[in-house]
Amino acid sequence: MIAKYGLDEGVEPQKYGLGMKELWEIDPAKHAEGTVTHTMGWPLNGNAGGGSFIYHLDNNQVYVGFVVHLNYENPHLFPYMEFQRFKHHPMVAELLEGGKRIAYGARAITEGGWQSMPKLVAPGVALLGCAAGMVNVPRIKGNHNAMLSGIAAADAAAEAIAADRSGDELTAYETTVRTGAIAKDLRRVRNVKPLWSRYGLTASLGLGGFDMWTNNLFGLSLLGTLKHGKSDAAATGEASKFKPIDYPKPDGKLSFDRLTNVSFSFTNHEESQPAHLKLKDPKVPVEVNLPKYAGPSARYCPAGVYEFVEKDGKPEFVINFQNCVHCKTCDIKDPTQNIVWTVPQGGDGPNYPNM
Ligand code: SF4
């Protein structure tokens, strides 16, 4: 809808983070329902921005997750392996040892915030919640704004129905979002993400904090509204300019290889259907993305859908679409913007339990 109606004209490019999550059942002695832990940075070591979350649910279950901001430059980065490495930090390893992973999933998160929010309405169309990018990144939450946008859209739709209108623009919805609680929440944190992108995590913590402080107290920012600049795809650098990263092998206890973990997403796609991941030009992966960017789709996909295999002495690009967990990272991060995620046949995809 955004592309069809040009709803993002004149706004900053949307930004994203790839969130990966595992559900664990842990030793009851280590479980403390309601405990929330967040970390920033490690083990990304300056190669990308991101951080983790660990939430203790009920029934001795724990969510362990890791988010990698998709504006990273080094195409050798392997977000999934960063997540696996994270679980070997002594604090996390101690928590998970003796437990078992019972589910795995991944999803891209819209992180561009206020300056990336597209026009929200078109004839018969309204963008709500994450579709419009209403996540408050420093607060690591978007549910509150998703619910508020649902209420505002329902109010506007009810008003339109009562007035016998149909198929026009719900402009009242757009006005409520841009002048109400959602605007207030997103406007005051609008510079945090661009500051992270520009100055890295440590340097931007103080500056971002100061900017949020002036916004909260005085309703203004000395920085104005910072731009994001490049899209996440365009941020990807050429492989020859970066060092490959050596990742330790998963140990099968705390860390797992991708395909084993994908089986815990319970994803399913009827094999006889056409692949729902389309290439605009089938030659680009081997002729451009492999030599120039070292074939980054083989790493950024958290489900191992994309592979470069050798056939008759030549590289061939393979799409194992059956494994897809619908995170949309390929559509976002492919440096040549050659991959288009489309909807597979009726209801196919991940089948997450309690995720
Ligand atoms: S193929 Fe694309 S949408 Fe599917 S899991 Fe991989 S990156 Fe995500």
List, as one string, the DSSP characters of 272-311.
TSPPSEEESSTTHIIIIIHHHH--THHHH-TT--EEEEEE
Is pLDDT above 80 for 222? no
Q: How far, in Å, is the centroid of ligand 1 from the Cα of 106?
A: 9
221 pLDDT tier (thresholds 50, 70, 90): confident
In the chain, what are the domains? 16-110 (3.30.9.90), 117-187 (no CATH), 191-227 (no CATH), 233-341 (3.30.70.20)
CA angle 58, 63, 68 (to 5 degrees): 160
Ligand 1 lined by 341 (C-beta under 6 Å): yes
Nearest to 318 by CA among 310, 326, 330: 310
Q: Summarize the confidence of residues 129-155 as an average pLDDT.
A: 95
Between residues 218 and 291, which one has the greater pLDDT?
291
What pLDDT, in 10s, does the model give residues 35-87?
999 999 999 988 999 999 999 999 999 999 999 999 999 999 999 999 999 99
Q: Summarize the confidence of residues 251-265 as an average pLDDT.
A: 97
Cα 305 to Cα 303: distance, rounded to the nearest angstrom: 6
Q: Summarize the confidence of residues 23-38 as an average pLDDT.
A: 98
Mutate to test the pocket of ligand 1, among 16, 109, 269, 330 (most ligand atoms within 8 A of CB): 330
Cα 69 to Cα 339: distance, rounded to the nearest angstrom: 19
Residue 304 CA, closest ligand 1 atom number: 6
Is pLDDT above 90 for 200? no
Ligand 1 lined by 134 (C-beta under 6 Å): no
Cα 270 to Cα 274: distance, rounded to the nearest angstrom: 9
- The residue type of 17 is G
Largest CA distance in the chain: 67
For 206, phi then psi, to 5°, come to -65, -45
- Contact criterion met (CB below 8 Å) for 33 and 138: no
Beta bridge partners of residue 141, listed in sequence order: 136
Beta bridge partners of residue 341, listed in sequence order: 277
Is pLDDT above 80 for 216? no
Task: Fill in the DSSP letter of residue 112.
Answer: -
Q: How far, in Å, is the centroid of ligand 1 from the Cα of 79?
A: 13
DSSP H or E run through 89: none
Q: Summarize the confidence of residues 185-202 as an average pLDDT.
A: 83
Give the residue, by CA position, lying nearest to ligand 1 atom 4: 324
Between residues 246 and 211, which one has the greater pLDDT?
246
pLDDT of residue 204: 65
What pLDDT, in 10s, does the model give residues 280-299?
999 999 999 999 999 999 99
Is pLDDT above 90 for 32? yes
- Coarse DSSP helix, strand, coil percentages of the chain, rounded to the nearest 5 percent: 35, 20, 45
Q: Summarize the confidence of residues 131-158 as an average pLDDT.
A: 95
Is pLDDT above 80 for 213? no
pLDDT of residue 203: 64
Q: Burial letters for 116-126: b for 16+ Cβ neighbours within 10 Å, e otherwise?
A: bbbbbbbeebb
Q: How far, in Å, is the centroid of ligand 1 from the Cα of 282?
A: 17
